Amino acid sequence: MSSKSGKGDGGRNHKIATRLAHAGRNPSAHHGYVNTPVYHASTMLYPDAEAFVAHRSRYRYGRRGTPTSEALENAIKDIEGPLCEAVALLPSGLAAISATLLSVLRAGDHVLVTDSAYLPTRKLCDTILTRYGIATTYYEPTIGPGIAALLQANTRAVFVESPGSLTFEIQDIPAIAAVAHAHDAVVVMDNTWASPLHFRALEKGVDLSIQSGTKYIGGHSDLMLGTVAANKATWNRLKETVYEMGLCVGPDDMFLGMRGLRTMGVRLAQHQAAGIKVARWLEARPEVLRVLHPALESHPGHAIWKRDFTGACGLFSIVFKPAPTAAVHAFLDALTLFGIGESWGGFESLAVPFDCTPIRTARPWAPGGPTVRFHVGLEDVSDLLADLEVGFAAFAEAAHGTDGS
C-alpha cells in the first residue's frame, strides 16, 4: 500500500476499506496528483544503444507493463492479502481463467473442475484443454474431502468456484485444498462472487485466485477485465504464460478498474444488504419454492459460508414452484427495474432465466421448478420489491391463462 508521500508500505495493518482507498497510489511520483496517470503506450524509447541492448530501463514495452498497469496490479495485490506474490491483469474474467489453467496444466494432465463452474469455464475445458491433451473430470461441488477419491496420478489442478454463480452451492475449500496439496495439485478458484473482500481465497488454501473485474471491481457495466492473484509457488508460471501469450489490458480499461476499486467496498456492502432483503422477501412468496442464497439460514451451505466467508454480494437465484415457462417469461417481461441480460456486478438490477439441468454431469441437477437468477443493484429496495410485485401479478395472470404444461 502506498503512503501519503508515496514512500512505501506504511499500512500493513489497515482495514480493507482503507486499503481500497489508498492501495496502488503513489502521488509523489506523479507531481502530487491523487491518481496514477493513464499511460497510452506501446513503444518506449531508450537513451542510447547500450541501454537498449542491455534492456536498462524500468519498463520495456507497453504490453509488458506501464505505471498504469503496475498501479492496478499493486492495488489488487494489496487487497488480495499477504500471501499474494503478484497479480496478472487480463482482458476479461474468462481470459483470466484460461490463462491460469494454461499456466498450471500441460499435455497429459488431468484437472478436476466443479460441476457448478461458470459455463464458459466448462467450454474451455471441453474444447481447448481437450484439444491440448488435458482431461477434465467434473465433480459434485459439495464433495469436500471426498475429492480425494477422484484424484488421479496426473491430476495437477483442482478448480473451485464457491458459490456457483447460477446454482450457489458452497464448497468446503480448505478441505479440498488440503487434499489437493497433499497430492501436489494446485487449487485454482473463481472468486468473483465473494471477491477478496468477503473470501480470503489465498489464506483458505487457494493458490491462484481469479476475479472477473468486469463485475464488482468495474461496478458500472462498462468494463471487461480479469485479475489473477498468484501465491509464491505459482506466480512465475502465470507470469510467463501471460507474457508469452501476449495478453494485456488497454489503459482506459485499467483506469476504469482502478476507479471502480476505490468504491468497491461501499458498493458491495449495499449490494449485500439489499440482496439479502430481496432474497428474504422472495423466500416468503407463495410462488417460490426455494431461494438459493448462501447467507440465508435455509441454504444447505449456510454453515460453511458462515465459517469461511465474511459477506455476500447481490447475486442469487430462486426456484419457482412448478410453473409454465410462459409464466416465468411474463414475470421477467413485466419487470422494469430488473433488466434481462448477461453478467452482473453493475449498479443496476438484473434477472435472467436459466436451466442447468442439461449441463451438469457429476450429479443430475433437479431444482424442482423453473429457475431465475437475480442481481440486486443499487436501487432503493422498496422500488425493487414493488417491481417484483408487478412481476408476480403478470406471472399469476400468465399461469392462470395456460394449462400448466
Ligand X SMILES: Cc1ncc(COP(=O)(O)O)c(C=O)c1O
Which of 2/214 has CB closer to ligand X? 214
Asked whether position 343 contacts ligand X by CB under 6 A, the answer is: yes
- Owner of C-alpha cell 497510452: 40
Answer whether 275's CB lies under 8 Å from 313's CB. yes
Asked whether position 92 contacts ligand X by CB under 6 A, the answer is: yes
The answer to whether 200 is a known catalytic residue is no
CB of 215 to ligand X, least distance (A): 7
| Residue nearest ligand X (C-beta atom) | 93
Answer whether 130's CB lies under 8 Å from 124's CB. no
Q: What is the DSSP string of 238-263?
A: HHHHHHHTT----HHHHHHHHHHHHH
Answer whether 25's CB lies under 8 Å from 2's CB. yes
Asked whether position 214 contacts ligand X by CB under 6 A, the answer is: yes
Asked whether position 349 contacts ligand X by CB under 6 A, the answer is: no
Greatest pairwise CA separation for the chain in angstroms: 81
Which of 95/185 has CB closer to ligand X? 95
Asked whether position 94 contacts ligand X by CB under 6 A, the answer is: yes
Rounded Cα gap, residues 129 and 105, in angstroms: 9
Q: x/- binding map, residues 224-263, to ligand X, per CB under 6 A? A: x-x-------------------------------------
Site for ligand X in 312-331 (CB under 6 A): none
List the catalytic residue out of 172, 190, 207, 308.
Answer: 190
List the catalytic residue out of 46, 59, 63, 259.
Answer: 63
The answer to whether 190 is a known catalytic residue is yes
Tell me which residue of 240, 238, 169 sits closest to 207, measured CA to CA.
Answer: 238
The answer to whether 262 is a known catalytic residue is no
- The 3-class secondary structure across 27-76, one letter per residue, is HHHHCCCCCCCCCCCCCCCCCCHHHHHCCCCCCCCHHHCCHHHHHHHHHH
List the catalytic residue out of 25, 215, 267, 290.
Answer: 215
Which of 121/234 has CB closer to ligand X? 121
CB of 226 to ligand X, least distance (A): 6
Rounded Cα gap, residues 397 and 384, in angstroms: 20
**Those residues with Cβ within 8 angstroms of residue 274's Cβ, 6 or more apart along the chain or in another chain:** 314, 376, 377, 378, 379, 381, 384
Q: x/- binding map, residues 25-64, to ligand X, per CB under 6 A? A: ----------------------------------------
Asked whether position 103 contacts ligand X by CB under 6 A, the answer is: no
CA distances from 106 to 20, 128, 155 (A): 36, 12, 11
Rounded Cα gap, residues 62 and 64, in angstroms: 5
Asked whether position 209 contacts ligand X by CB under 6 A, the answer is: no
Which of 151/194 has CB closer to ligand X? 194
Site for ligand X in 58-87 (CB under 6 A): none
The answer to whether 243 is a known catalytic residue is no
Tell me which residue of 183, 185, 182, 203 sits closest to 194, measured CA to CA.
Answer: 203
CB of 116 to ligand X, least distance (A): 10
User: Is residue 267 helix, strand or coil?
Assistant: helix
Asked whether position 154 contacts ligand X by CB under 6 A, the answer is: no
**Those residues with Cβ within 8 angstroms of residue 395's Cβ, 6 or more apart along the chain or in another chain:** 287, 323, 327, 328, 330, 331, 334
List the catalytic residue out of 78, 109, 118, 262.
Answer: 118
Which of 2/116 has CB closer to ligand X? 116
Which of 179/224 has CB closer to ligand X? 224
User: Please, what is the angle between helix 232-244 and helix 93-104, to 10°?
Assistant: 110
CB of 55 to ligand X, least distance (A): 33
Burial (CB count <10 Å: 0-12, 13-18, 19+), residue 286 = exposed
Q: Which region, judged by CB under 6 A, interacts with ligand X, from 88-96, 103-111, 137-145, 196-204? A: 88-96
Query: Catalytic residue numbers?
Result: 63, 118, 190, 215
Q: Which residues bind ligand X (CB under 6 A)?
A: 92-94, 118, 165, 190, 192, 212, 214, 224, 226, 343
